[in-house]
Structure 1
Amino acid sequence: MLRILIADDEPLARRALRRLLAPHTDVEIVGEAESVAQAMELIGQLQPALILLDIEFNGADGFDLLAGMADPPRVIFVTAYAEYAVDAFAVEAIDYLLKPVAQPRLDAALDRARRLLAATPKGHDTLELRAPGRLLRCTPGDILAIEAEGDFSRVHVAEQPPLMILRSIGQFEALLPSPPFLRAGRSILINCDRIRSVQTRSRDEARVVLEGMSDPVILGRAAAARLRQALAARL
């Protein structure tokens, strides 16, 4: 089954999409969202393979949703505005449909989605890290460390500038394999496979040097002790 989430703040638009999807017996509408925040929550809960996504919501837009997720589902934009088409394909949207959507146009977009999903099934072997104006694909092993920054997470990827992702460090912890990833403290997640050395500067501070990252990660006493315990358990 092709699991789809509809994300649009207009009830009539959601109803129109349900009607257009009804002839497709392999489609399951797993949920509907009327805001970016609700869509993000439902994606985490329901894990749809595809989103039918409006662009302009109240106070936010569909691009905010994609930028805030480390590994979003594939997306078909459904909007009344033609001017965002270039931006949509920059984030690798499967298609860009203008309202009102005709049945043949949606059918063709779904056929394209089926082909792409069959050719490149999504999973945790490859992650898509989306920040405003930037998309980076990597494997979990490429991620060196993740630091909490308020509502954002600063993601350090080998040989790349850090990315600010609108996703909590707890969500990353649930996504990444453990081991090798360790939640050393409330605000830091470390890939233990990438550790080159742990240097103790004082009783209250340790410097963790990671392969592929120029600056060391600074840990407090409790986090450093947790890290050493995890490393000792792997010996």
Structure 2
Amino acid sequence: MLRTLIVDDERLARQAMRRLLAAHPSVEIVGEAETLDEAIAAIERTDPQLVFLDIELGSRGDGFDLLARLARPPLIVFVTAYAEYAVDAFAVSAVDYLLKPVEPERLAETLARVEQHMIRVLASSGQTVQGMIALRTPKQIVLAAPSEIAALRADGDFTHVYVADQPAVMILRTLGHFESLLPSPPFLRLGRSLIINRDRLRKIEAPSRAGARIVLQGITGPLELGRAATARLRELVSPDEI
């Protein structure tokens, strides 16, 4: 999900953008703001990946002032009724510049541009950017937020990454590479070959100390754990869960 904030000093404009974004299930609207100060507070509180930003935000400052006050601004798409600010907008590395009233087709182009921008940055850096991880296979690049990853299993120099409600993807990266990228907690390494997302753990079946089965939200069927992984799991979760 693309965590998105709407910043506009007009309530009707914010409502219109909400309606347009509702047609894109990959977008999660985490909040909205009316003024410069509200926008700064909302960005600090919600940590959005993308902001749809109006330029005129009242008497206390504009969209450019907002960017100047942020040490690490999220991706920005300006949304305004004034075409004359476009050059200045791209000078501050805006991903796109939309003129009001925004057309649905133009918004779809913008979201595709945002996704491609994130893919390029992630693929070139191999790191997390704006809270996303790029899972690169020979045929595609899958963007995933850490919260969407349920588990990772090592297979030699490859790693099977289980993104919730999607087929697992095989990535030419070691499990250690992903361990360095993913936050712990909630990600727990259960031995040499498995990392799980603790937040997605729904059930543990451990009929003996020799092994266990765990059910993770977003994965079809349980994952089998060996003796070492089961012992590690016992160390990391509360006793009443096993």
TM-score, with length taken from structure 1:
0.51
Q: Which has the higher strand share?
A: 1
In the other structure, the counterpart of 1:57 is 57
Distance 1:15 1:65 in 2: 21
In the other structure, the counterpart of 1:12 is 12
**How many residues are matched?**
124
Q: How does 1:144-183 map to 2 (within 5 A)?
A: none
Distance 1:5 1:18 in 2: 10
Distance 2:27 2:130 in 1: 20
Amino acid at match of 1:86: V
Q: Residues 123 and 6 from structure 1, CA distance in 2 versus in 1: closer, same or farther, beyond 3 angstroms?
A: closer
Q: Which runs of 5+ in 2 are unaligned?
A: 123-128, 132-242
Distance 1:86 1:51 in 2: 18
In the other structure, the counterpart of 1:88 is 89
**Runs of 4+ deviating beyond 4 Å:** none
In the other structure, the counterpart of 1:47 is 47
TM-score, with length taken from structure 2:
0.50
Q: Residues 123 and 109 from structure 1, CA distance in 2 versus in 1: closer, same or farther, beyond 3 angstroms?
A: closer
Distance 2:33 2:130 in 1: 23
In the other structure, the counterpart of 1:116 is 117
Distance 2:56 2:9 in 1: 8
In the other structure, the counterpart of 1:33 is 33
Question: Post-superposition shift, 1:123?
Answer: 5.7
Question: Post-superposition shift, 1:45?
Answer: 1.1
Distance 2:79 2:56 in 1: 10
**Which gives a bigger RCO, structure 1 or 2 (Cα 8 Å, sep 6+)?**
1
Distance 1:36 1:20 in 2: 23
Question: Post-superposition shift, 1:99?
Answer: 0.3
Q: Which runs of 5+ in 1 are unaligned?
A: 125-235
1:70-115 CA-to-partner distances (Å, cap 9, x unmatched) read: 1000100000111100000000101100000000001100110011
Contact persistence 2:78–2:96 (CA under 8 A): yes
Distance 2:130 2:51 in 1: 16
In the other structure, the counterpart of 1:107 is 108
**RMSD of aligned C-alpha atoms?**
1.3
Q: Residues 66 and 31 from structure 1, CA distance in 2 versus in 1: closer, same or farther, beyond 3 angstroms?
A: same
Distance 1:35 1:41 in 2: 10
Q: How does 1:127-146 map to 2 (within 5 A)?
A: none
Distance 2:43 2:57 in 1: 17
Question: Post-superposition shift, 1:57?
Answer: 1.1
1:28-68 CA-to-partner distances (Å, cap 9, x unmatched) read: 00000001111111111111000000001111100000000
SS in 1 for 2:24: coil
Amino acid at match of 2:10: E
SS in 2 for 1:87: helix
1:164-213 CA-to-partner distances (Å, cap 9, x unmatched) read: xxxxxxxxxxxxxxxxxxxxxxxxxxxxxxxxxxxxxxxxxxxxxxxxxx
Question: Post-superposition shift, 1:118?
Answer: 2.5
